[in-house]
Structure formats: structure tokens, C-alpha cells
């Protein structure tokens, strides 16, 4: 049995090799190669192509197609595994993605071929949660603006939110989405003595320090709104003019999730017209946005270049998180990492995998 791991600029092949070495004891031949990209800008371009157009928007280069041709298991992080790749891999039984998002996999087509798809949920949850709290504080306390001022030789004492600079204790933070990242943010912010409310139609049980409310109530009550939901047709553009208008003029919006959750034009208008105190964003509809990008031109916003999940620990530990979940197949065990779980029982009956 052959596993082929496709490394990239964030998780080089040696970390995949190390992470999946444990499968060699099960008779798996672990081979790895790197997806050779010019730089991070090229990788970002491909990721945006895939995010906007699906996995079939980009075909991997020929050397990757050749390397995976006889693979039983393919491991990837960002390199797309689309219909073309799947069609040329007659032995393929499992696809593993070293992150929670799986937009770069044609999951529907893989499922139609009886191929199991695994992701790595929460692999960067700590990194994103830490960064979210950092952004929240940086924006409301003007840390980035003060830093930039000093670098430019200015000693700034007046900021756009000078009349609304808060202490965190007693303030209300509203978390839209209470998955692994949202709950980690909640746990961190309890350390600041904040009141935590949340909206998640799929959350039935939450910690006792989180109060579930309807989305409209969350927008009205929160001093900070932080987004932690997956982008789907139902959530695309969910934060629009109507919901933004419900927020307090002293409130802040934080987005370290997906840009398309927010109507950027609506947010631009709300910030420009001082309907909100500020916002902090790590994601944009166009990346990189450029200095003339409407949101970039505002003075009441903190911006970072899509880096919330980018800690070394998050990247390098991903293979070690995913490998034992795939190894459960040898024991005919299910896994919470399995994306197309509806196939599992049928797959066990028909596969000669283990």
C-alpha cells in the first residue's frame, strides 16, 4: 500500500514523512514530494482560485500527477485533488487534508468513487483563537495605529475611537459560530472577565459561561462581534447592512474566518460613516487588497495579511494529528476527522484496504 504526501511552502514534505512514519508499521510505503511554488504569493493565488472556483479551477503540475498515479492514500494541505487527479488514480481509497477546510478537494466526486476524505479539524484552532484575541485588543486599544505612528515619527494621542476606548472586563463579546475555534476564543476571553454570548444553530451544548442567543440579539448586545463560522451558501454575506445596523456605534467587528461572510461594501459604509467604532480583519475578498482597497483606506480598522492560522506549531503538527485518525481504518474504526462519514460502513464492506 502506498501513501503519497504532497508538501508545500507551509508544511514541507519532511514533516509529512515524519508525521506518517507510524503507518509504515502497518505496511504502508510513505513517499513524499513538495509542490514547487515560486513563493507565497503564487500559493495565495491558487488558494483564491480554488476558494472562488472550486477544486477543478486548478490542475496540479504533471510531476505531482505522476507521483500520485498509483497512490492508495494521498495527503495534501493546499494542493488541489480534483476530478482530473482522482480519475487518474485507480487505486485511490483515502484522501487526507492537513487542515480543516477542504475546498481544494472534489469531495463530491471522491465520494461518488467510494473514496474516504479526511480533514484535520481544529489543527490551527489555538493559533486562530490566540490571533483573534490579539486583533480584538489591537483594534480597540489602537496598538497597531500607535506602533505605525511611532515608526513614522508621530506621537499620536488622539485616535478615531478616543471617546470609546474600552476596558474589557464587563464588556460583551458575541461569537458567531461555536465550533472549536469559537469555543477556544470564548475560553480565552473569560480570562478578561468578559460576558460571552454566542450564536450557532448547530450548537446544542455549550460551556456554562456562554449564553446562546439569536443572531439579531447578538448583534444588538455585543461590544465586540467575532466571526467563527464556515463559509457555505447559507453563510455567505450573512453580515450585511441590516445586521451591521443593529450593532452599537461603540462596537467592533472582528473577522479571522472567511471574508465572504461579510458584505465588504456594507462594512466599509458602516465604518466610514462611524456607525461602528472599528473593525479588525485578517481576510479580504481580494488578497492582497492593495493600498487603494476601500477598507485599507479607512482609519478605524486594523488589518493583517491572512495570517491568523499561521503558527509553526499549527502547520508542523498537522501530520501527527491526522495520521492516527487514518490509522484507525486498520481497526475498522470511524473518526471524527472523516468528512464523508456516510460512506464509512459501505466502504468497510467493499474495501480491501486493511
Q: Are 115 and 130 found together in one domain?
A: no
Q: How confident is the model at residue 10, as a pLDDT?
A: 92
Q: How confident is the model at residue 347, as a pLDDT?
A: 85
Query: For residue 134, which of 311, 306, 254, 310 has the smallest C-alpha distance?
Result: 254
**One-character DSSP codes across 203-247:** -S---TTEEE--HHHHHHH-SEEEE-----TTTTT-B-HHHHHHS
Q: Are 59 and 168 found together in one domain?
A: no
Q: How would you label 108-123 residue by residue, b for 16+ Cβ within 10 Å and e otherwise?
A: ebbeeeebbbbbbbbb
Q: Which of 269, 287, 303 is the last residue of a domain?
A: 303
Q: Which of 303, 325, 342 is the last residue of a domain?
A: 303
Q: Are 193 and 269 found together in one domain?
A: yes
The DSSP letter of residue 115 is -
Q: Are 116 and 134 found together in one domain?
A: no
Q: How confident is the model at residue 352, as a pLDDT?
A: 67
Q: Are 171 and 296 found together in one domain?
A: yes
Q: Are 1 and 29 in contact (CB under 8 A)?
A: yes
Q: Are 106 and 55 in contact (CB under 8 A)?
A: yes
Q: Are 138 and 28 found together in one domain?
A: no
Q: How confident is the model at residue 198, as a pLDDT?
A: 98
* Residue-range definition of the domain harbouring residue 65: 2-123+311-350
CB atoms within 10 A of CB 200: 19
Q: Are 11 and 319 in contact (CB under 8 A)?
A: yes
Q: Are 82 and 92 found together in one domain?
A: yes
Q: Are 199 and 227 found together in one domain?
A: yes
Q: How confident is the model at residue 21, as a pLDDT?
A: 96
Active site residues: 258, 287, 306
User: Averaged in consecutive runs of 10 residues, what is the pLDDT profile of the chain (354 residues)?
Assistant: 96 96 96 95 91 91 97 97 97 95 94 96 91 98 97 96 95 96 97 98 93 98 96 94 98 97 98 98 94 98 94 91 95 93 86 66
Q: How confident is the model at residue 181, as a pLDDT?
A: 94
Q: How confident is the model at residue 205, as a pLDDT?
A: 87
Q: Are 329 and 297 found together in one domain?
A: no
Q: Are 165 and 296 found together in one domain?
A: yes
Domain of 228, CATH number, reads 3.40.50.720
Q: Are 294 and 341 found together in one domain?
A: no
Distances (CA, A) of 139 to 32, 47, 146, 153: 42, 27, 10, 20
Q: How confident is the model at residue 314, as a pLDDT?
A: 86
User: Number of structural domains, the chain?
Assistant: 2
Q: Are 243 and 340 found together in one domain?
A: no
CB atoms within 10 A of CB 137: 15
Amino acid at each position: 500500500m502506498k501513501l503519497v504526501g504532497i508538501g508545500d511552502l507551509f508544511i514541507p514534505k519532511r514533516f509529512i514523512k515524519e508525521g506518517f512514519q507510524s503507518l509504515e508499521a502497518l505496511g504502508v510505503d510513505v513517499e513524499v514530494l513538495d509542490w514547487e511554488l515560486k513563493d507565497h504569493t503564487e500559493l495565495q493565488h491558487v488558494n483564491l482560485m480554488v476558494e472562488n472556483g472550486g477544486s477543478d479551477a486548478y490542475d496540479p503540475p504533471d510531476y505531482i500527477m505522476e507521483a500520485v498515479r498509483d497512490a492508495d492514500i494521498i495527503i495534501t494541505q493546499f494542493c488541489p485533488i480534483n476530478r482530473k487527479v482522482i480519475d487518474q488514480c485507480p487505486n485511490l481509497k483515502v484522501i487526507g487534508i492537513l487542515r480543516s477546510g477542504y475546498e481544494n478537494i472534489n469531495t463530491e466526486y471522491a465520494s461518488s468513487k467510494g473514496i474516504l476524505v479526511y480533514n484535520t479539524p481544529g489543527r490551527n484552532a489555538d493559533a486562530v483563537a490566540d490571533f483573534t484575541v490579539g486583533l480584538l485588543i489591537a483594534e480597540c486599544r489602537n496598538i497597531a495605529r500607535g506602533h505605525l505612528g511611532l515608526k513614522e515619527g508621530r506621537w499620536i494621542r488622539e485616535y478615531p475611537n478616543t471617546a470609546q476606548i474600552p476596558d474589557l472586563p464587563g464588556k460583551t463579546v458575541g461569537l458567531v459560530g461555536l465550533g472549536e475555534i469559537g469555543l477556544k476564543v470564548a475560553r480565552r476571553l473569560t480570562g478578561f472577565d468578559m460576558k460571552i454570548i454566542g450564536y450557532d444553530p448547530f450548537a446544542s451544548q455549550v460551556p456554562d459561561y456562554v449564553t446562546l442567543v439569536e443572531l439579531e440579539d447578538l448583534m444588538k448586545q455585543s461590544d465586540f462581534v467575532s466571526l467563527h463560522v464556515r463559509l457555505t451558501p447559507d453563510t455567505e454575506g450573512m453580515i450585511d447592512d441590516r445586521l451591521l445596523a443593529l450593532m452599537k456605534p461603540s462596537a467592533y467587528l472582528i473577522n479571522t474566518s472567511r471574508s465572504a461572510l461579510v458584505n465588504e461594501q456594507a462594512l466599509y459604509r458602516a465604518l466610514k460613516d462611524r456607525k461602528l467604532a472599528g473593525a479588525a480583519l485578517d481576510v479580504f475578498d481580494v488578497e492582497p487588497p492593495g493600498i487603494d482597497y476601500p477598507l485599507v483606506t479607512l482609519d478605524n480598522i486594523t488589518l493583517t495579511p491572512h495570517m491568523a492560522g499561521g503558527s509553526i506549531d499549527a502547520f508542523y503538527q498537522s501530520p501527527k494529528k491526522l495520521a492516527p485518525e487514518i490509522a484507525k481504518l486498520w481497526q475498522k474504526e470511524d473518526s471524527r476527522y472523516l468528512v464523508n462519514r456516510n460512506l464509512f460502513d459501505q466502504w468497510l464492506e467493499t474495501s480491501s484496504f486493511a
